[in-house]
Structure 1
Amino acid sequence: MEQAEIRMLGPLQVRRADGSVIDQGQWRCSKNVDLVRMLAADVGRPVPLSSLVSRLWPDADEEHAGGSLRTAMSQVRKLLGPESLERRQGALVLRHAWVDLQAYAVLLDEAAAARRTQEHERTVALVREAEALYVGDVDVAESSGSWLHELRQHWRERRCQALVDAADAAAALCSMRDSLELAETAFTLDRHSEQAARSLMRALAGLGETRRALRVYEKVRRGLAADFGVDPSPQTTAVHLQLVTERAEDVAGAGPLGHLRPVQELAAALSRARIAQGGVVWLCGPAGSGRDTVTEAACERLGLTLRNLNREWLP
């Protein structure tokens, strides 16, 4: 039997088995649309009638809510066909329908399994295939309940995690530009996601853009502090310090400075002071010992701006 097609990622679109698209006005009211959305989110699985009623008509008594549900079911059957809905022991099932959310979920589950077994190429390929389905977030327009907003957030979070997994898999394949693209998309979805931030920092560093990677750290650090009053996790801080150290090594090895250890130590000390949101770093040495040069190198690698006060360089 041919299937109807229901797309919930992006603007809701319902296409009958004959290929015709159901116009918004044909649903008659938003409750009928919400019923289809609820059933489509669990297509092929029974959804308890009590759950449908409590979400769609939370303030109605049992008699009126039951009547409203029967009316909505009648309209859905009229639009999708008499066999589209089936009652099973106090539950309702949507049948004969392909739903993009279900296809998307299958791809993400397969990608997660591939990631666990370190099948990096397969992980990236599956997530990219899933991304082709993700036209946009679940559309919450004209919905009267919080459940659809929760569904929307659930799939945003799953998408973000899948993108991070794919970014890390691409990095394991040394495909740093692919890793960067995937990690940037994940970080755009959730600016507070430290996993996404770490993947993005590593991808940028792998492309030699350490300064940009350090700016990502600053962005997530400030966001966490401003919105939640917390510092980055030890894992994120460790990636940051690794980048600081590697950048100091690059500077020390590339020019006449040669002060590898002082640059490393100063960069790490400045980084710790910034994480603590305050502090003093005292750099001692006689005139001509290279204090200014070490300071400039460490601060440049951290992306800090220097100010000269009384002939002394301060970040």
Structure 2
Amino acid sequence: MGPVRYFLLGPARAQTSEGPDGAAVTVGGPRVRALLTVLALRAGRAVPVGVLVDEVWGAEPPADAVAALQALVGRLRRALGHERVVSTEGGYRLEAVRGDVDLFRFERLADEGVRELAAGRAAGAARLLDEALGLWKGPALADLPDRGAEAARWEARHLDARRARLAAALALGEAAGALPELTALCESHPLDEPLQALRIRALRDAGRSAEALAAYDLVRGEIAERLGADPSAELRSLHAELLELPEPVAPGAGAVVGNLTARLTSFLGRDGELESLGAELRESRLVTLLGPGGVGKTRLSQEAAERVGGGWPDGVWLVELAPVTDPEAVTEAVLAAVGARETVLRGAGAEELRLGDDPMHPTGRLVEHCARRRMLLLLDNCEHV
């Protein structure tokens, strides 16, 4: 009897061996796949008939459930082989071990990856977690009629593994690459404070401290509104670290004032476009770059702004609007990016007072902040808002 692998992370299926050379085993219709799921979840253990009926049919069992189950077992045996679905006293058993089931391989690899991360071995953690996450091909236990708490538990483990993998990315200096996934996850899990802390750290590590502060403020407001609570100690500590970061470069320091960060690669070619764009920036108050995604509009705009940055003594400020989903939040994002905040003392300690806390409308505050300054704003990824 050759080895068979069972897959429950996505539609239930079986394969005669792992890897690209493995042959798929055709497993009947949805009820047969549900039966396989229930048995594989308890690989190597007897499952009583009553449990099988409840989990395969949910709240709508057939009139003669025992006979219907026997028919399903017969179909599963024809697919897998009679010797792999064994009759036991009062039930059935899948002749397999936990290591044959992707769900449990995921669990083992994820646990090992988390331990590697805790031990400070981020590269090893990343490899293990990539292997674990690569096993997911869809929702866990997708073929059960009532996935319920069992599926929710595995989906929570999946999120834990993704969170750990992103933490490994930050430890490996890959903050910028991790930001798109972190942003998407934070939007779908707004109250997941460890996840939100990872995104704020990634923004900080990517040199986008103003956006990190803005992200903290959004999280703080969300927690207060939904839970009536303060952020966790981890988030508050991270916020304090952000407030201690050095301010943007001052005029005369030999660099462009503002929040543009140094690029890690050189910029070659496109001299004609840079000259044209520089001329437009000197003559026009509003310049728009158009083009399909991926052609380099962001990099071109930053290079052009840096080359003519001396024309704006109060700085060149990049406002990343990709994470902003509400058009009403655009002005606040700009205020945060230009560092429009101040610190005052209240009572015995210092508390941050943002311009965003001022009763004046955000647009009015932005006008007031910019009116006395000569500055250039780069609004990146703004078309959706």
Q: TM-score, normalised by structure 1?
A: 0.68
What is the one-letter code of the residue matched to 1:84?
Answer: R
- Indicate conservation of the 8 Å contact 1:210/1:243, yes or no: yes
- Indicate conservation of the 8 Å contact 1:161/1:186, yes or no: no
Instruction: Name the residue aligned to 1:250.
Output: 247
What is the one-letter code of the residue matched to 1:19?
Answer: A
What is the one-letter code of the residue matched to 1:197?
Answer: Q
The answer to whether 1:104 aligns with 2:106 is: yes
1:126-174 CA distance string (max 9 Å, x none): 1112222223322636x422xx243433222112212222333343344
Instruction: Name the residue aligned to 2:39.
Output: 39
Range with bigger deviation, 123-132 or 219-228: 219-228
Report deviation, 1:239: 1.8
- Aligned pairs for 1:15-94 (under 5 A) are 15=15, 19-22=23-26, 26-27=28-29, 30-57=30-57, 64-88=64-88, 90=90, 92-94=92-94
Q: Secondary structure at the match of 2:82?
A: coil
- Indicate conservation of the 8 Å contact 2:9/2:142, yes or no: no
Task: Quote the sequence identity (%).
Answer: 24
1:249-303 CA distance string (max 9 Å, x none): 323x63589xxxx9444894226x97xxx788xxxxxxxxxxxxxxxxxx9xxxx
Report deviation, 1:11: 3.8
The answer to whether 1:198 aligns with 2:236 is: no
1:160-204 CA distance string (max 9 Å, x none): 212222333343344434654664565366333111111111122
Separation (CA, whole Å) in 2 of partners of 1:227 and 1:75: 50
What is the one-letter code of the residue matched to 1:306?
Answer: L
Instruction: Name the residue aligned to 1:269.
Output: 352
Instruction: Name the residue aligned to 1:118.
Output: 120
Could you say if the C-alpha distance between residues 181 and 227 of structure 1 is closer, same or farther in structure 2, counting changes exceeding 3 Å?
A: same
Unaligned runs of 5+ residues in structure 1 are 281-298
Paired residues, number: 273
Aligned-residue RMSD, C-alpha: 4.1
Unaligned runs of 5+ residues in structure 2 are 253-313, 315-340, 373-385
Report deviation, 1:106: 1.8
Q: Secondary structure at the match of 1:269?
A: strand
Separation (CA, whole Å) in 2 of partners of 1:270 and 1:182: 31
Q: Secondary structure at the match of 2:92?
A: strand
- Indicate conservation of the 8 Å contact 2:25/2:79, yes or no: no
- Indicate conservation of the 8 Å contact 1:164/1:182, yes or no: no
- Indicate conservation of the 8 Å contact 1:77/1:84, yes or no: yes
- Indicate conservation of the 8 Å contact 1:202/1:213, yes or no: yes
Separation (CA, whole Å) in 1 of partners of 2:81 and 2:94: 11
Could you say if the C-alpha distance between residues 305 and 2 of structure 1 is closer, same or farther in structure 2, counting changes exceeding 3 Å?
A: farther
The answer to whether 1:144 aligns with 2:145 is: yes
| Structure number with higher helix proportion | 1
Could you say if the C-alpha distance between residues 76 and 216 of structure 1 is closer, same or farther in structure 2, counting changes exceeding 3 Å?
A: farther
- Following TM superposition, the consecutive aligned residue runs of length 4 or more in structure 1 with deviations greater than 6 angstroms are 60-63
Q: Secondary structure at the match of 2:6?
A: strand
- Indicate conservation of the 8 Å contact 1:140/1:149, yes or no: no
Instruction: Name the residue aligned to 2:279.
Output: none
The answer to whether 1:210 aligns with 2:209 is: yes
Q: TM-score, normalised by structure 2?
A: 0.57
Could you say if the C-alpha distance between residues 106 and 181 of structure 1 is closer, same or farther in structure 2, counting changes exceeding 3 Å?
A: farther
Q: Secondary structure at the match of 1:86?
A: strand
What is the one-letter code of the residue matched to 2:33?
Answer: V
Range with bigger deviation, 71-80 or 184-193: 184-193
2:366 to 302, 306, 314: 306
Could you say if the C-alpha distance between residues 81 and 236 of structure 1 is closer, same or farther in structure 2, counting changes exceeding 3 Å?
A: same
- Indicate conservation of the 8 Å contact 1:245/1:268, yes or no: no
Instruction: Name the residue aligned to 1:95.
Output: 95
What is the one-letter code of the residue matched to 1:117?
Answer: A
Instruction: Name the residue aligned to 2:134.
Output: 132
Report deviation, 1:77: 1.0
Separation (CA, whole Å) in 1 of partners of 2:190 and 2:103: 24
Separation (CA, whole Å) in 2 of partners of 1:244 and 1:115: 27
